[in-house]
Protein backbone atom coordinates (compact mmCIF):
# COMPACT_ATOMS: atom_id res chain seq x y z
CA UNK A 1 0.00 0.00 0.00
CA UNK A 2 1.20 3.50 -0.76
CA UNK A 3 -0.16 6.92 0.11
CA UNK A 4 -1.82 8.49 -2.95
CA UNK A 5 -3.62 11.86 -2.83
CA UNK A 6 -4.47 11.30 0.83
CA UNK A 7 -5.63 7.70 0.29
CA UNK A 8 -3.96 4.40 1.04
CA UNK A 9 -3.84 2.65 -2.32
CA UNK A 10 -2.56 -0.75 -3.43
CA UNK A 11 0.16 -0.54 -6.10
CA UNK A 12 -0.38 -4.19 -6.88
CA UNK A 13 -2.09 -7.34 -5.71
CA UNK A 14 -0.51 -10.27 -7.54
CA UNK A 15 1.89 -8.13 -9.57
CA UNK A 16 1.75 -5.30 -12.09
CA UNK A 17 2.45 -7.50 -15.09
CA UNK A 18 -0.10 -10.31 -14.46
CA UNK A 19 -2.72 -7.67 -13.57
CA UNK A 20 -1.97 -5.74 -16.74
CA UNK A 21 -2.29 -8.90 -18.84
CA UNK A 22 -5.57 -9.82 -17.13
CA UNK A 23 -7.10 -6.52 -18.23
CA UNK A 24 -5.85 -6.90 -21.82
CA UNK A 25 -7.04 -10.52 -22.07
CA UNK A 26 -10.06 -10.81 -19.76
CA UNK A 27 -11.15 -8.42 -17.00
CA UNK A 28 -9.68 -6.59 -14.03
CA UNK A 29 -11.13 -4.35 -11.33
CA UNK A 30 -9.60 -1.19 -9.88
CA UNK A 31 -10.89 0.50 -6.76
CA UNK A 32 -10.87 4.12 -7.87
CA UNK A 33 -13.02 5.44 -5.04
CA UNK A 34 -10.35 8.05 -4.41
CA UNK A 35 -11.62 9.91 -7.49
CA UNK A 36 -13.62 13.02 -6.66
CA UNK A 37 -17.29 13.46 -7.53
CA UNK A 38 -19.03 16.81 -7.87
CA UNK A 39 -22.67 17.43 -8.61
CA UNK A 40 -23.71 20.53 -10.49
CA UNK A 41 -27.39 21.22 -10.45
CA UNK A 42 -29.86 23.91 -11.39
CA UNK A 43 -31.40 25.70 -14.34
CA UNK A 44 -28.08 27.44 -15.12
CA UNK A 45 -25.88 24.36 -14.54
CA UNK A 46 -25.45 24.04 -18.29
CA UNK A 47 -24.29 27.68 -18.56
CA UNK A 48 -21.79 27.24 -15.75
CA UNK A 49 -20.30 24.12 -17.34
CA UNK A 50 -20.22 25.58 -20.82
CA UNK A 51 -18.29 28.57 -19.43
CA UNK A 52 -15.76 26.53 -17.43
CA UNK A 53 -15.28 23.29 -19.39
CA UNK A 54 -13.48 22.98 -22.72
CA UNK A 55 -15.81 20.58 -24.50
CA UNK A 56 -19.26 21.48 -25.79
CA UNK A 57 -21.70 20.59 -23.01
CA UNK A 58 -24.60 20.98 -25.45
CA UNK A 59 -23.49 17.81 -27.20
CA UNK A 60 -24.24 15.89 -24.02
CA UNK A 61 -27.74 14.39 -23.62
CA UNK A 62 -29.04 12.78 -20.42
CA UNK A 63 -27.60 9.25 -20.28
CA UNK A 64 -24.36 10.33 -21.91
CA UNK A 65 -20.84 11.12 -20.71
CA UNK A 66 -18.11 13.40 -22.05
CA UNK A 67 -14.37 13.78 -21.58
CA UNK A 68 -13.59 17.44 -21.00
CA UNK A 69 -11.06 19.78 -19.39
CA UNK A 70 -11.27 22.37 -16.66
CA UNK A 71 -9.08 25.11 -18.10
CA UNK A 72 -7.53 28.17 -16.49
CA UNK A 73 -7.23 31.65 -18.04
CA UNK A 74 -4.12 30.61 -19.98
CA UNK A 75 -5.78 27.51 -21.40
CA UNK A 76 -3.78 25.36 -18.95
CA UNK A 77 -5.43 22.26 -17.57
CA UNK A 78 -6.62 22.40 -13.95
CA UNK A 79 -8.02 18.90 -14.37
CA UNK A 80 -9.31 16.48 -16.95
CA UNK A 81 -12.69 15.12 -15.98
CA UNK A 82 -15.64 13.12 -17.21
CA UNK A 83 -19.03 14.80 -17.04
CA UNK A 84 -22.15 12.65 -16.87
CA UNK A 85 -25.46 14.27 -17.62
CA UNK A 86 -27.84 12.86 -15.01
CA UNK A 87 -30.95 14.69 -16.18
CA UNK A 88 -32.01 17.96 -17.77
CA UNK A 89 -30.44 20.18 -15.11
CA UNK A 90 -28.11 17.88 -13.19
CA UNK A 91 -24.55 16.80 -13.98
CA UNK A 92 -22.00 14.58 -12.24
CA UNK A 93 -18.31 15.41 -12.66
CA UNK A 94 -15.71 12.77 -11.89
CA UNK A 95 -12.40 14.50 -11.17
CA UNK A 96 -8.92 13.31 -10.23
CA UNK A 97 -8.54 12.77 -6.48
CA UNK A 98 -5.84 15.37 -6.00
CA UNK A 99 -7.78 17.96 -8.02
CA UNK A 100 -11.31 17.49 -6.70
CA UNK A 101 -10.95 20.40 -4.29
CA UNK A 102 -9.40 22.62 -6.99
CA UNK A 103 -12.22 21.86 -9.41
CA UNK A 104 -14.83 22.34 -6.70
CA UNK A 105 -13.41 25.73 -5.70
CA UNK A 106 -12.98 26.81 -9.33
CA UNK A 107 -16.61 25.99 -10.17
CA UNK A 108 -17.80 27.60 -6.93
CA UNK A 109 -15.93 30.76 -7.89
CA UNK A 110 -17.69 30.81 -11.25
CA UNK A 111 -21.05 29.71 -9.86
CA UNK A 112 -24.07 31.45 -11.37
CA UNK A 113 -27.40 32.33 -9.88
CA UNK A 114 -29.40 29.15 -10.38
CA UNK A 115 -26.54 26.63 -10.25
CA UNK A 116 -25.29 24.75 -7.26
CA UNK A 117 -21.98 22.89 -6.99
CA UNK A 118 -21.61 20.19 -4.33
CA UNK A 119 -18.70 17.89 -3.50
CA UNK A 120 -20.28 14.44 -3.12
CA UNK A 121 -17.00 12.48 -3.12
CA UNK A 122 -17.70 11.04 0.33
CA UNK A 123 -21.00 9.55 -0.82
CA UNK A 124 -19.77 7.44 -3.71
CA UNK A 125 -17.42 4.53 -4.25
CA UNK A 126 -16.15 3.87 -7.75
CA UNK A 127 -14.95 0.56 -9.19
CA UNK A 128 -13.52 0.38 -12.70
CA UNK A 129 -14.06 -3.04 -14.29
CA UNK A 130 -12.07 -3.16 -17.49
CA UNK A 131 -11.20 -5.69 -20.16
CA UNK A 132 -12.66 -7.49 -23.18
CA UNK A 133 -14.75 -9.76 -20.93
CA UNK A 134 -15.70 -7.12 -18.34
CA UNK A 135 -19.32 -6.66 -19.41
CA UNK A 136 -19.89 -10.35 -19.94
CA UNK A 137 -18.51 -11.23 -16.52
CA UNK A 138 -20.73 -8.61 -14.87
CA UNK A 139 -23.77 -9.79 -16.81
CA UNK A 140 -24.21 -6.38 -18.40
CA UNK A 141 -25.58 -5.76 -21.87
CA UNK A 142 -23.20 -4.18 -24.38
CA UNK A 143 -23.60 -0.43 -24.56
CA UNK A 144 -22.03 2.42 -26.45
CA UNK A 145 -18.93 4.02 -24.97
CA UNK A 146 -19.57 7.24 -23.04
CA UNK A 147 -23.10 6.33 -21.98
CA UNK A 148 -24.47 5.40 -18.57
CA UNK A 149 -27.49 3.61 -17.09
CA UNK A 150 -28.73 2.70 -13.63
CA UNK A 151 -28.55 -1.05 -13.09
CA UNK A 152 -27.97 -3.64 -10.44
CA UNK A 153 -25.18 -6.17 -9.96
CA UNK A 154 -25.91 -9.05 -7.58
CA UNK A 155 -28.34 -6.92 -5.64
CA UNK A 156 -26.21 -3.76 -5.46
CA UNK A 157 -27.63 -0.69 -7.15
CA UNK A 158 -25.01 0.86 -9.42
CA UNK A 159 -24.58 3.60 -11.94
CA UNK A 160 -22.95 1.78 -14.86
CA UNK A 161 -20.72 4.09 -16.85
CA UNK A 162 -19.24 2.89 -20.12
CA UNK A 163 -16.00 4.72 -19.47
CA UNK A 164 -12.49 3.80 -18.39
CA UNK A 165 -8.78 4.50 -18.44
CA UNK A 166 -7.28 1.34 -19.93
CA UNK A 167 -8.15 1.40 -23.63
CA UNK A 168 -10.25 -1.72 -23.14
CA UNK A 169 -13.98 -2.11 -23.18
CA UNK A 170 -15.32 -1.82 -19.69
CA UNK A 171 -17.33 0.08 -17.17
CA UNK A 172 -16.89 2.29 -14.16
CA UNK A 173 -19.40 1.40 -11.47
CA UNK A 174 -20.49 4.08 -9.03
CA UNK A 175 -22.32 2.88 -5.93
CA UNK A 176 -23.17 4.27 -2.52
CA UNK A 177 -20.14 4.07 -0.27
CA UNK A 178 -21.87 1.69 2.16
CA UNK A 179 -22.37 -0.83 -0.66
CA UNK A 180 -18.76 -0.70 -1.85
CA UNK A 181 -17.44 -3.81 -0.11
CA UNK A 182 -20.43 -5.87 -1.22
CA UNK A 183 -19.94 -4.71 -4.82
CA UNK A 184 -16.18 -5.38 -4.72
CA UNK A 185 -16.80 -8.92 -3.43
CA UNK A 186 -19.50 -9.51 -6.05
CA UNK A 187 -17.19 -8.38 -8.85
CA UNK A 188 -14.35 -10.63 -7.62
CA UNK A 189 -16.78 -13.56 -7.27
CA UNK A 190 -17.49 -13.15 -10.97
CA UNK A 191 -13.86 -13.94 -11.73
CA UNK A 192 -12.57 -10.41 -12.25
CA UNK A 193 -8.91 -9.94 -11.25
CA UNK A 194 -8.12 -7.26 -8.61
CA UNK A 195 -5.67 -4.69 -9.99
CA UNK A 196 -3.65 -1.89 -8.38
CA UNK A 197 -2.34 1.53 -9.32
CA UNK A 198 0.72 0.05 -11.02
CA UNK A 199 -1.26 -1.73 -13.74
CA UNK A 200 -3.56 1.26 -14.08
CA UNK A 201 -0.52 3.33 -15.01
CA UNK A 202 0.98 0.87 -17.51
CA UNK A 203 -2.42 0.28 -19.16
CA UNK A 204 -3.22 3.95 -19.65
CA UNK A 205 0.27 4.70 -20.92
CA UNK A 206 0.09 1.99 -23.61
CA UNK A 207 -2.96 3.74 -25.01
CA UNK A 208 -1.49 7.25 -24.41
CA UNK A 209 -4.11 8.55 -22.00
CA UNK A 210 -2.43 11.48 -20.24
CA UNK A 211 -2.20 11.54 -16.46
CA UNK A 212 -2.89 14.89 -14.82
CA UNK A 213 0.11 15.90 -12.72
CA UNK A 214 2.48 14.00 -15.05
CA UNK A 215 1.59 14.71 -18.67
CA UNK A 216 -0.91 17.51 -18.40
CA UNK A 217 -1.32 20.34 -15.93
CA UNK A 218 -1.93 24.06 -15.47
CA UNK A 219 1.51 24.88 -16.92
CA UNK A 220 0.73 23.38 -20.36
CA UNK A 221 -2.10 24.56 -22.59
CA UNK A 222 -4.56 21.95 -23.83
CA UNK A 223 -3.52 22.25 -27.51
CA UNK A 224 0.17 21.64 -26.76
CA UNK A 225 -0.93 18.70 -24.62
CA UNK A 226 -2.65 17.12 -27.61
CA UNK A 227 -6.14 17.55 -26.20
CA UNK A 228 -7.47 19.93 -28.84
CA UNK A 229 -10.07 17.28 -29.69
CA UNK A 230 -11.64 17.89 -26.26
CA UNK A 231 -11.76 21.66 -26.78
CA UNK A 232 -14.76 23.13 -28.58
CA UNK A 233 -13.03 26.31 -29.72
CA UNK A 234 -16.30 27.64 -31.16
CA UNK A 235 -17.72 27.88 -27.62
CA UNK A 236 -16.79 30.44 -24.96
CA UNK A 237 -14.93 29.05 -21.93
CA UNK A 238 -12.09 30.11 -19.67
CA UNK A 239 -8.85 30.30 -21.63
CA UNK A 240 -10.41 29.80 -25.05
CA UNK A 241 -8.75 32.91 -26.55
CA UNK A 242 -5.30 31.53 -25.72
CA UNK A 243 -6.21 28.14 -27.10
CA UNK A 244 -7.49 29.65 -30.35
CA UNK A 245 -4.22 31.56 -30.70
CA UNK A 246 -2.05 28.49 -29.98
CA UNK A 247 -4.08 26.52 -32.47
CA UNK A 248 -3.68 29.23 -35.12
CA UNK A 249 0.06 29.80 -34.54
CA UNK A 250 0.90 26.17 -33.84
CA UNK A 251 2.20 25.02 -30.46
CA UNK A 252 5.86 25.55 -29.57
CA UNK A 253 6.06 22.22 -27.75
CA UNK A 254 3.93 19.13 -28.11
CA UNK A 255 3.18 16.14 -25.96
CA UNK A 256 4.10 13.05 -27.98
CA UNK A 257 4.11 9.31 -27.38
CA UNK A 258 7.36 7.48 -28.04
CA UNK A 259 8.79 3.98 -28.02
CA UNK A 260 12.37 3.21 -27.04
CA UNK A 261 14.44 1.75 -29.86
CA UNK A 262 17.30 1.09 -27.43
CA UNK A 263 16.80 -1.26 -24.51
CA UNK A 264 15.94 1.17 -21.71
CA UNK A 265 13.00 2.34 -19.65
CA UNK A 266 12.16 6.05 -19.78
CA UNK A 267 11.07 7.66 -16.51
CA UNK A 268 9.32 10.88 -15.58
CA UNK A 269 11.69 13.86 -15.49
CA UNK A 270 14.34 12.51 -17.87
CA UNK A 271 15.63 15.10 -20.34
CA UNK A 272 15.05 14.67 -24.07
CA UNK A 273 17.94 16.06 -26.15
CA UNK A 274 17.08 19.25 -27.98
CA UNK A 275 14.92 20.63 -25.18
CA UNK A 276 12.27 18.27 -23.99
CA UNK A 277 11.25 16.17 -21.05
CA UNK A 278 9.73 12.77 -20.35
CA UNK A 279 6.50 13.18 -18.39
CA UNK A 280 5.61 9.48 -18.05
CA UNK A 281 7.50 6.32 -18.83
CA UNK A 282 7.41 2.63 -18.17
CA UNK A 283 8.08 -0.78 -19.64
CA UNK A 284 5.10 -1.87 -21.70
CA UNK A 285 4.17 -5.33 -20.42
CA UNK A 286 2.48 -6.19 -23.72
CA UNK A 287 5.03 -4.71 -26.16
CA UNK A 288 8.07 -5.57 -24.04
CA UNK A 289 9.55 -2.15 -24.83
CA UNK A 290 10.15 1.07 -22.97
CA UNK A 291 7.36 3.53 -23.76
CA UNK A 292 6.53 7.03 -22.66
CA UNK A 293 5.01 10.43 -23.16
CA UNK A 294 6.97 13.65 -23.23
CA UNK A 295 7.09 17.22 -24.43
CA UNK A 296 9.35 17.97 -27.39
CA UNK A 297 9.78 21.03 -29.63
CA UNK A 298 7.10 21.00 -32.35
CA UNK A 299 9.76 20.48 -35.02
CA UNK A 300 10.65 17.08 -33.57
CA UNK A 301 7.08 16.00 -32.79
CA UNK A 302 6.42 14.21 -36.08
CA UNK A 303 5.81 10.46 -36.02
CA UNK A 304 9.04 8.63 -36.77
CA UNK A 305 11.36 11.35 -35.48
CA UNK A 306 14.29 9.97 -33.53
CA UNK A 307 14.67 11.21 -29.95
CA UNK A 308 17.60 10.84 -27.60
CA UNK A 309 16.69 10.46 -23.95
CA UNK A 310 19.11 10.94 -21.09
CA UNK A 311 18.67 7.73 -19.07
CA UNK A 312 20.66 8.53 -15.93
CA UNK A 313 23.59 9.88 -17.93
CA UNK A 314 23.37 7.46 -20.86
CA UNK A 315 21.96 8.55 -24.23
CA UNK A 316 19.21 6.13 -25.28
CA UNK A 317 17.26 6.28 -28.53
CA UNK A 318 13.53 6.45 -28.98
CA UNK A 319 11.14 7.17 -31.81
CA UNK A 320 8.06 9.38 -31.81
CA UNK A 321 5.10 7.07 -32.41
CA UNK A 322 1.45 7.16 -33.27
CA UNK A 323 -1.26 6.96 -30.63
CA UNK A 324 -2.09 4.49 -29.25
CA UNK A 325 1.18 2.64 -28.66
CA UNK A 326 -0.83 -0.52 -28.09
CA UNK A 327 -3.82 -1.47 -30.20
CA UNK A 328 -5.54 -4.85 -30.28
CA UNK A 329 -5.17 -5.41 -34.02
CA UNK A 330 -1.40 -4.96 -33.85
CA UNK A 331 -0.78 -7.91 -31.54
Partner 1 sequence: MSASESYPDDLLYHPEHDWARIDGDEATLGVTWYAQDALGELVHYEAPDVGATVTKDASYGEVESVKAVSDLISPLSGEVLEVNQQVVDAPETVNEDPYGAGWLIRIRMTSPDERMELLSLDDYRKALEAG
- Name the residue nearer to partner 1 (CB basis): 130 or 163: 130
Q: Is 266 in the site for partner 1 (CB under 8 A)?
A: no
Among 92, 264, 272, 286, binds partner 1 (CB under 8 A): 264
Selected from 84, 282, 307, 326, the binder of partner 1 by CB under 8 A is 282
In the complex with partner 1, the residue whose CB is nearer, 12 or 235, is: 12
CA-wise closest residue to 5 among 37, 38, 34 = 34
166 binds partner 1 (CB under 8 A): no
Q: In the complex with partner 1, which residue's Cβ is closer, 2 or 188? A: 2
Could you tell me if 73 and 238 are in contact, meaning their C-beta atoms sit under 8 angstroms apart? yes
Cα torsion 17, 18, 23, 24: sign? positive
Q: Which H/E stretch holds residue 102?
A: helix 100-110
Q: Is 278 in the site for partner 1 (CB under 8 A)?
A: no
DSSP line for 107-142? HHHH--TT-EEEE-GGGEEEEEEESTTHHHHHTPPP
Which of 4, 7, 10, 12 contacts partner 1 by CB under 8 A? 12
For partner 1, the binding residue among 11, 74, 112, 233 (CB under 8 A) is 11
CB of 283 to partner 1, least distance (A): 4
Tell me the DSSP string of 53-98. BSS-GGG--TTBEEEEEEE-TTSBEEEEEEEEEEETTEEEEEE-GG
> Cα Rg for the chain, rounded, in angstroms?
20
Q: How far is the CB of 268 from partner 1 (least distance, A)?
A: 11
Stretch that binds partner 1, among 42-50, 112-120, 125-133, 258-266 (CB under 8 A): 258-266
Tell whether residue 292 is a contact of partner 1 (CB under 8 A): no
Nearer to partner 1, 285 or 294 (CB): 285
Residue 263 in the binding site for partner 1 (CB under 8 A): yes
Q: How far apart are CA 200 and CA 16, in angstroms?
A: 9
User: Residue 201's closest CA among 185, 212, 192, 217?
Assistant: 212
Residue 22 to residues 128, 131, 199, 285, 291: CA-CA distances in angstroms? 14, 8, 10, 11, 20
Q: How far is the CB of 271 from partner 1 (least distance, A)?
A: 16
Q: Are 276 and 297 within 8 A, CB to CB?
A: yes
Q: How far is the CB of 122 from partner 1 (least distance, A)?
A: 30
If binding is defined by CB under 8 A, does position 17 make contact with partner 1?
Answer: yes
Q: Kindly write out the interface string for residues 202-231 of this chain, putting x where it contacts partner 1 by CB under 8 A and - elsewhere.
A: x-----------------------------
How far is residue 168's CA from residue 328's CA, in Å, rounded to a whole number? Answer: 9
312 near partner 1 (CB under 8 A)? yes
Span of 13-21, 43-51, 104-112, 146-154 interacting with partner 1 by CB under 8 A: 13-21
Per CB under 8 A, residues contacting partner 1 are 11-12, 15-17, 198, 201-202, 263-265, 267, 282-283, 285, 290, 312
Amino acid sequence: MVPFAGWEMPVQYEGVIPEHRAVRADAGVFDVSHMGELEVEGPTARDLLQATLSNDIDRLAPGEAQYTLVTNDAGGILDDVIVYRLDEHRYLIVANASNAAVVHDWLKEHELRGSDVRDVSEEYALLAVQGPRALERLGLAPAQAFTWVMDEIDGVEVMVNRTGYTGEEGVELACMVDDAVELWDAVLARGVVPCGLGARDTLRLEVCYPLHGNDIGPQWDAISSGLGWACALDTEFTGVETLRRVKADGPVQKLVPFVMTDKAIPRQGMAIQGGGEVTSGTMSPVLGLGIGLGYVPAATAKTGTELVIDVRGKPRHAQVSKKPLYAKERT
